[in-house]
């Protein structure tokens, strides 16, 4: 066709797309080389791993190797410090469901457990941490979240091929910007429609996975144009079984409605081609800062490279001077009659002619104090530019003595790198959401995961994608920067102790260790979750059981919300269920052991002597409202409500909006209690 040259490259037929994808990779490679980005990335790599490159030795320099080259690697120390401050505190991953019903809440709890399982057991945190390190060194780091159908437990055999079929599992990888080709002409980083990922896999594994192309795959080797040009250590990769594999992802757009995924080994060897199987591009980016009008990131570590070189030069000057002239030379007047042997050793008696002169040392090791002062200035300058202060590095100034001051200064260091913190949180949210989404779409076979609950209690949980159908988003609570510091955790623990929230040494130590107070409110959280479940049952006309250990005040306040609807008030079944259940809680407040209620932080109600005959007595079933206490003894009388009748005077005493008839036996004290809950 005459219009073929206008065709979008991503829509080319399979026999042409492979070569075009490799052309895009080549163009990206040439761009980062020609603009100096690759050289900048190599400098940061060299500065970070300088000790490894020099094999931990002092190297020599100069025309005659007369200089000692001493590396004092503040660059790596500062980078590692920022990395630790960013990733040392595990953020709280909070899956959100579409609705707030009990089933959706239960699925959200399962999703939270699965996220924790993959973070801990599958080491996803390592990939996230590596992405942060790539962002600090190269301005960007990328994490991919994909589905690997060849992993997981075996669950069947393909009837046609006889191949083993596995349940599949999530697969993760982390990539620096070197190996994420994209449209480098973009003026912003979040507008990409496609990526080409360059990764390296064993060609024998690939040959086994794609037996039809095994011969072509085994003939491939490392291509210099893709590997050596961007390889940071510049090694010769002749003796390796790994070959580059290029994965092209294009999201659904108007020009390409189904998107596209293509796996390429060479221009004429395409292993897979089809619509993108994921809802979104499975490539997620982290950058401390975006460079304006470009698609690349920026890191403050770039600003430290020249200062690190200056520090190394000054330390090398001092080391060279001390090493060269550290062993003293001796000056003697011409015609001196003292032998060298008499000057060696100690306790020698040396005679000399005062008219000729005595021997004197030649001290050439003196280094100007300006050199040491400048070194200190440069070291402080690196801390200033990176936002890492002396407290964070474990060397606080003498003026900082109190724990609160140390915590404040250290938290300021964390806030300085808030751009990196925010990008890290967004990466966590994107990766967490993609994990849940992919499991929903691909985990069709039931599988078992070790879920860790509160207080590190673990249990086995079987699940499949349908068990996550109502979870649609993962959010991250990044927390207070102060809580990420040791001094800050100590201050939080002390404040909680003074406020009475901490009851024993174990709780204090837990807060001090983690800075997390979730477990302190675990009981209250479970209580509210149970109340929500009861409210759903009451709204369906069901009758939940009230127990003596319930927090009756909270139950009364929350249960009245079921009746806060005009539609519900037209349903006598729901009205009767709610009011009867409310009366059960009141009865328990009257009949339960007062000492037990006081231990639970609740005030017992004085029982109405006239109503005692209608209430359950203490016995084997005490504590369960409505439970039979003896043969032939009926449970409390249920409310008698006329569907369209007027409310009784007794019910009118209960200060609830348009409250219908109260259950039989309600007394003024009961009505007053319910009315008082309105204050809550």
pLDDT in tens, 81-91: 888 888 877 66
131, 144 contact by CB (below 8 A): no
Q: What span, in angstroms and rounded, lies between the C-alpha atoms of 413 and 417?
A: 7
339 pLDDT tier (thresholds 50, 70, 90): confident
In the prediction, which pLDDT does 606 show? 78
143 pLDDT tier (thresholds 50, 70, 90): very high
- Is 566 within a domain? yes
Q: Which residues contact 408 (CB under 8 A, 6 or more apart)?
A: 482
Q: Looking at the predicted structure, is the pLDDT value of residue 637 above 50? A: no
How many CB atoms sit inside 10 A of residue 651's CB? Answer: 20
Helix (H, G, I), strand (E, B) or coil at 227: coil
Mean pLDDT of 155-179: 79
Q: What span, in angstroms and rounded, lies between the C-alpha atoms of 266 and 221?
A: 11
Domain boundary residue, one of 303, 337, 358: 303
- Is 272 within a domain? no
Domain boundary residue, one of 252, 271, 303: 303
20 pLDDT tier (thresholds 50, 70, 90): very high
In the prediction, which pLDDT does 342 show? 74
Domain boundaries, position 576: 523-628+635-679
In the prediction, which pLDDT does 217 show? 93
44, 138 contact by CB (below 8 A): yes
Domain boundary residue, one of 272, 303, 334: 303
What is the full DSSP assignment across 149-203?
A: TT-S-EEEE-TTT--EEE--EEEEEEE-GGGEE--TT-SSTT--SEEEEEEEEEH
Relative to beta strand 269-274, strand 260-266 is antiparallel
- Is 229 within a domain? no
Question: To the nearest 10°, the Cα dihedral for 465, 466, 471, 472?
Answer: 70
CA 161 vs. chain centroid, Å, equals 41
Residue with tokens 């953020």: 91
In the prediction, which pLDDT does 55 show? 60
What is the full DSSP assignment across 368-391?
A: -HHHHHHHHHHHHHHHHHHT--TT
674, 656 contact by CB (below 8 A): yes
pLDDT > 70 in the chain, percent: 70
Compute the mean pLDDT over every residue in the chain, rounded to the nearest whole number.
77
166 pLDDT tier (thresholds 50, 70, 90): confident
492 pLDDT tier (thresholds 50, 70, 90): confident
The DSSP H or E segment spanning 461 is strand 458-463
In angstroms, the Cα distances linking 183 to 193, 227, 478, 636 are: 9, 20, 32, 74
- Is 153 within a domain? yes
Q: Which residues of 126-144 are buried (b: 16+ CB within 10 A; e: fewer)?
A: ebbbbbbbbbbbbbbbbbb
CA 653 vs. chain centroid, Å, equals 53
Six-digit token pair at 416? 């300085």
| Extended strands (E) in 289-421 | 289-290, 297-298, 329-331, 360-362
Helix (H, G, I), strand (E, B) or coil at 666: coil
Among the ranges 101-115, 343-357, 499-513, 565-579, which has the highest mean pLDDT value? 565-579
- Is 210 within a domain? no
Strand-pairing partners, residue 473, are: 96
Worst-scoring range by mean pLDDT, 319-328, 385-394, 415-424?
385-394
Q: Looking at the predicted structure, is the pLDDT value of residue 399 above 60? A: no
In the prediction, which pLDDT does 521 show? 61
In the prediction, which pLDDT does 221 show? 77
- Is 622 within a domain? yes
Q: Which residues contact 587 (CB under 8 A, 6 or more apart)?
A: 615, 616, 625, 636
Question: To the nearest 10°, the Cα dihedral for 280, 281, 283, 287?
Answer: -80
Q: What span, in angstroms and rounded, lies between the C-alpha atoms of 622 and 546?
A: 11
Q: What span, in angstroms and rounded, lies between the C-alpha atoms of 222 and 137?
A: 26
- Is 25 within a domain? no
pLDDT digits (tens, 9 = 90+) for 441-469: 888 777 666 555 444 444 556 667 777 87
Q: What span, in angstroms and rounded, lies between the C-alpha atoms of 84 and 76?
A: 12
- Is 175 within a domain? yes
Q: How many domains does the chain have?
A: 2
In the prediction, which pLDDT does 112 show? 80
Phi/psi for 59 (5° steps) reads: -90, 170
pTM listed for this prediction = 0.68
């Amino acid at each position: 066709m005459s219009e073929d040259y206008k065709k979008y490259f991503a829509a080319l037929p399979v026999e042409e797309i492979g070569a075009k994808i490799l052309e895009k990779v080549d163009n990206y490679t040439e761009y980062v080389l020609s603009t100096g980005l690759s050289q900048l990335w190599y400098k940061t790599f060299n500065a970070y791993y300088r000790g490894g490159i020099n094999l931990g030795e002092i190297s020599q320099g100069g025309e005659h190797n007369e200089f000692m080259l001493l590396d004092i690697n503040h660059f790596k120390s500062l980078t590692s410090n920022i990395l630790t401050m960013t990733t040392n505190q595990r953020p709280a991953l909070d899956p959100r469901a579409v609705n707030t019903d009990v089933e959706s809440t239960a699925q959200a709890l399962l999703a939270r457990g699965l996220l924790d399982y993959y973070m801990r057991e599958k080491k996803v945190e390592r990939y996230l941490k590596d992405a942060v390190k790539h962002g600090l060194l190269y301005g960007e780091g990328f994490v991919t979240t994909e589905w690997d159908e060849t992993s997981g437990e075996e669950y069947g055999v393909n009837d046609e091929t006889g191949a083993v079929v596995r349940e599949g599992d999530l697969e993760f990888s982390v990539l620096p910007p070197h190996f994420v080709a994209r449209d480098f002409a973009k003026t912003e980083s979040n507008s990409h429609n496609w990526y080409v990922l360059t990764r390296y896999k064993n060609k024998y594994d690939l040959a086994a996975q794609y037996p039809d192309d095994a011969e072509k795959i085994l003939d491939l080797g490392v291509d210099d144009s893709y590997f050596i040009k961007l390889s940071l250590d510049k090694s010769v990769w002749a003796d390796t079984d790994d070959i580059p594999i290029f994965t092209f992802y294009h999201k659904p757009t108007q020009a390409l409605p189904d998107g596209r995924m293509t796996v390429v080994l060479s221009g004429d060897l395409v292993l897979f081609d089809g619509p993108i199987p994921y809802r979104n591009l499975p490539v997620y980016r982290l950058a401390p800062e975006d460079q304006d009008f470009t698609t690349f990131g920026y890191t403050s570590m770039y600003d430290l490279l020249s200062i690190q070189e200056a520090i190394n030069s000054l330390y090398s000057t001092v080391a060279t001077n001390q090493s060269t002239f550290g062993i003293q030379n001796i000056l003697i007047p011409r015609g001196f009659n003292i032998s060298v042997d008499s000057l060696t050793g100690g306790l020698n008696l040396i005679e000399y002619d005062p008219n000729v002169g005595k021997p004197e040392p030649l001290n050439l090791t003196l280094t100007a104090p300006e050199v040491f002062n400048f070194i200190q200035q440069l070291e402080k300058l690196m801390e200033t530019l990176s936002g890492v202060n002396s407290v964070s590095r474990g060397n606080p100034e003498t003026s900082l003595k109190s724990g609160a001051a140390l915590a404040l200064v250290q938290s300021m260091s964390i806030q300085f790198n808030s751009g990196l913190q925010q990008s890290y949180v967004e990466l966590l949210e994107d990766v967490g959401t993609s994990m849940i989404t992919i499991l929903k779409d691909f985990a069709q076979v039931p599988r078992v995961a070790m879920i860790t609950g509160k207080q590190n209690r673990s249990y086995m949980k079987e699940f499949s994608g349908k068990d996550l159908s109502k979870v649609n988003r993962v959010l991250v609570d990044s927390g207070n920067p102060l809580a990420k510091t040791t001094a800050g955790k100590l201050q939080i623990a002390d404040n909680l102790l003074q406020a009475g929230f901490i009851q024993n040494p174990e709780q204090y130590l837990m807060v001090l260790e983690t800075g997390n107070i979730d477990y302190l409110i675990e009981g209250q959280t479970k209580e509210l979750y149970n109340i929500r479940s009861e409210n759903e049952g009451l709204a369906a006309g069901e009758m939940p059981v009230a127990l003596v250990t319930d927090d009756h005040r909270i139950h009364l306040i929350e249960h009245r919300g079921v009746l806060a609807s005009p539609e519900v008030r037209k349903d006598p079944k729901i009205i009767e269920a709610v009011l009867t259940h409310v009366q059960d809680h009141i009865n328990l407040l009257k009949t339960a052991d007062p000492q037990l209620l006081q231990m639970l932080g609740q005030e017992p109600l004085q029982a109405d002597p006239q109503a005692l005959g209608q209430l359950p007595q203490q016995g084997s079933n005490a504590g369960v409202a409505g439970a039979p206490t003896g043969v032939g003894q009926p449970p409390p009388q249920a409310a008698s409500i006329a569907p369209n009748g007027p409310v009784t005077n007794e019910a009118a005493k209960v200060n609830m909006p348009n409250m219908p008839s109260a259950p039989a036996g309600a007394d003024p004290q009961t009505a007053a209690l319910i009315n008082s809950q309105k204050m809550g």
